[in-house]
Structure 1
């Protein structure tokens, strides 16, 4: 994501900050999630950040079945 601070996004991921916009993708699993997903946190070296689910999908990742980032937030 352009002009996004990776350290801030990593903190939001590890704190499960549901208010953070965008999604994160995990290269080792091929899955992208919302911030706040209850899944086990990934290794930082495997994480990529995207502004929108469509961007992660276009990059070849599939949506997480737990947090369903490709569907409207509940």
Structure 2
């Protein structure tokens, strides 16, 4: 038991911290100027029981787990 505890302590002390990949931001066209949004408004739509289109389910990059980058535009 002492060996197990020692090994566990060594693993906890010397393991590298885990890093997450930053996700691509949504894009917002505001007054003709591109801005980045760090919210994902469509995810609440998809999680409310609406299925994601198949084109969002293919191979993906680790920087875009949701499978798409939304492009938004504010118009008067």
TM-score range, shorter chain: under 0.3
* Structure with more contact order per residue of length (Cα contacts < 8 Å, sep ≥ 6): 2
TM-score of the aligned structures, taking structure 2 as reference length? 0.25
Q: TM-score, normalised by structure 1?
A: 0.25
Higher helix share: 2
